[in-house]
Structure 1
C-alpha cells in the first residue's frame, strides 16, 4: 500500500523545505502538493521523486471533496481560518498536523473537535518553529537525551546528556516528574531570513494583551512589553519583548511547566525600537490590519539566515540554558520540526504513533526522537547549567 501525504501549502516557503525532507528520508511516501495554484504545485512536484499536485482551496466548504483518493495524513502549512480543512479531515478520519494555528485558534479547534469527535490523531504543532521550543522543553523536563538515536547521532550534537542522560526510554510520561518552575523562551528573528507569508501572523496583532502562566495561574500581560536584554550566540545582545505564542498556554496545560514567558527580538536594534514605539504609543493598534500586514511583509528577507532561540529553565535551585539554532533559517527549522511530527503521526522510523484526538508535540512519549530528527537535519543544540545565585534576574516579571 502506498502511503500518501497531502501537504496543503506545499509549494510555500516552509512547505517546499518539508517536501524535500520527506522525499529524501521517505521516498516511498507519495507527496501530494495542494494549493490554489495548480501550476505552482505541479512545478514543485516535478522536483521530487514521488509527488503530484492537486488544486485545493481552503476557502471551499469541503476542501477535500474532489480528492481522487484519500491520503493517510494531511499537513496544514497555511492558515485554515474558517476551519474547513480541519472539519473535512476529521469527518474522514484522516490524521492531521496543523502548524499555523495561533493561541485563540487552538481554542476554536477544541470546540470543533468536541462536536466532531475525531477518531484519528490531530496534532497542533503551531508553537514557535512548529513547536520546536515545546519539544526542547519536554526533553529538558524528561531528562531523556544522550542516547544513540534512529539517525545514528548522539543527541544533543556532541553535548552528551545535555538534557540529562537516563537511557533509551523516554520519561516524559512519568507521573512522578513535577512541572518545571518557570521557563523563559527568547527568540532572535533575523530580518534577512526568508519567511513564509503566514509568519507575520505572530506580529500583526503583537500589541494585543494575552495571558501567560506564572506559578500555575494565568496572568494578562500587554503585547510587546516587559523588555529584557538577552545574550544570544556570538555574545550578541538584543532587547526582547513579549510575544503571544501557543506554547505559553499548552506547556502549562500539559503539565510541563508552572510558568512560561516568550519574548522576541529582531536582529535590528532600529526595528526593535521602532516597533516598540509604535506599539507603546498606540499607533500600531490604530493602523488597519491590512496596513500592519503590509508593513511586516516589507521587512521579510529573501535569503536564508540563521534562526535561534534560547530557553532558560528555572527549576528549584538550578537554571539551565539551552541554545538552539538552525543555520539554514526559520523555514528550514519549521520544516524539521514538522517532519518529526509526521513521523510521529504515522508511526514511521520506530516512532510511537499519536493517539486519536487532539494533542501537542510536547506530549509525545518519545519526544527525544524529535530532537534526533532535528539534529540530523543540522539543527544545533547546546546547554549550560548554573546555580540560582547567578541568575537572579531570570523569572516572572511584573
Structure 2
C-alpha cells in the first residue's frame, strides 16, 4: 500500500519522537515528515527513525512551508492556537489529529468542521493520553447495565516530565482554566478552589492528593455512557513502581459504580499502567488512531467527521497492544475512600 508521508508537527519533541518510533515499529515502510521550528532537531529525529524527511513548518503560510509536498495526515503535538495544521489538513482533505488543546479551546475546531464537514476527519485528541483512559473505561463499562458514577484519577510521576512542550502546555491549561469541568447529578459544573481538591489511592494503595482537571474525557464518557456523575482528577507525585524501588511509570485509576447487566449493584476499580511513562502510552494511542484514520489496520479509511479518539480505537486491539508493550489494565479492589 503506497501512502504519502504523515506530517508530525512537533515531531522532534518527546511525544512526537515516541510516536514516530511507534509508527516505524508497526509500519516500517510508511514515510514520515518531521515538522518543527528547529531544523537541526528535526533532522536528528528523522535520522534516528529512518525513512523520514524533515521540514521547517511555517504556521503563517497556507502551505505550512511544504509547497506541493503531499501528506496523508497531519498530527499536531503542541497547542496550535492559529489552527495552522487544521487549516492545512482541511485544504488538503486529509485527517487531522491534535492532542494538546484544552476542553475550553475546542470551539475553533468545531467551527472549522461545521463549515466543511465533508472535507476530512478531525479528531479532538485531548482525551487523557489520547484515548488510553476512555478506551479502557468503556471496556470496563461493558459489564454494567447502568453507570451512576465514573471517577478517573491520573498519576503522573514527577520524573515523567514529557519535555518542555508538554510542560508549557500544562502550564497554559492550568493558568487559563483553574476550575475542573465535572458532571454532577446530570448537570455540568465547574469545581474550583477547595471543591476541586481530591484524593485517591495509587495502585500500591498510597493516598495521593490530587486536583480536578478539565479533561475532555468527562464529556465524552458522559455522552457515551449516560453516567450522571463523571469527574477527572490528576496528581503529579511518585508513581507506585518508583515508590517500590523500580523505574517510574504512569498510572490511571478508573472507578465505576452502578448496576451490572442483571441489575445488581456493582462497583469496580481498575488501573491502566504503562511501565515507561505517559509519553509512550500517548504514542501508542496516536499510532492506533492514525492506523484507523488511514486504514492501516486493514479496514477502510475513516470517513469525514468529528471524532473523539475512543470512537476510533478498537478497545480489544488497544488492550492487546498495551500488553505487548508491557502495560496492562489491572483489576484492583474497590476502596471506600
TM-score scaled by length of structure 2:
0.86
- Long gaps (5+) in structure 1: 144-176, 269-303, 394-398
Distance 1:205 1:78, change over 3 A: closer
Aligned to 1:340: 288
Aligned to 1:194: 161
The whole-number CA distance in structure 2 between the counterparts of 1:344 and 1:179 is 29
Deviation at 1:57, TM superposition (A): 2.8
Deviation at 1:229, TM superposition (A): 2.8
Select the residue among 307, 314, 320 that pairs with 1:366.
314
Q: CA RMSD in A?
A: 2.4
Deviates more, 1:219-228 or 1:89-98: 219-228
Deviation at 1:128, TM superposition (A): 1.1
The whole-number CA distance in structure 2 between the counterparts of 1:64 and 1:48 is 22
Distance 1:182 1:353, change over 3 A: farther
Deviation at 1:15, TM superposition (A): 0.6
2:314 is the counterpart of 1:375: no
Q: Do the aligned residues in 1 keep the contact of 2:96 with 2:121 (CA within 8 Å)?
A: yes
The whole-number CA distance in structure 2 between the counterparts of 1:110 and 1:318 is 37
Q: Do the aligned residues in 2 keep the contact of 1:103 with 1:246 (CA within 8 Å)?
A: yes
The whole-number CA distance in structure 2 between the counterparts of 1:224 and 1:22 is 42
- Long gaps (5+) in structure 2: 239-246, 260-264
SS in structure 2 of the partner of residue 341 of structure 1: helix
The whole-number CA distance in structure 2 between the counterparts of 1:266 and 1:48 is 31
2:73 is the counterpart of 1:73: yes
Aligned to 1:113: 113
Aligned to 1:252: 222
2:190 is the counterpart of 1:220: yes
Distance 1:369 1:203, change over 3 A: same
Deviation at 1:355, TM superposition (A): 2.8
Deviation at 1:385, TM superposition (A): 6.2
Q: Do the aligned residues in 2 keep the contact of 1:254 with 1:363 (CA within 8 Å)?
A: no
- Alignment size in residue pairs: 321
Q: Do the aligned residues in 1 keep the contact of 2:148 with 2:258 (CA within 8 Å)?
A: yes
Q: Do the aligned residues in 1 keep the contact of 2:94 with 2:120 (CA within 8 Å)?
A: yes
More strand by share: 2
2:258 is the counterpart of 1:315: yes
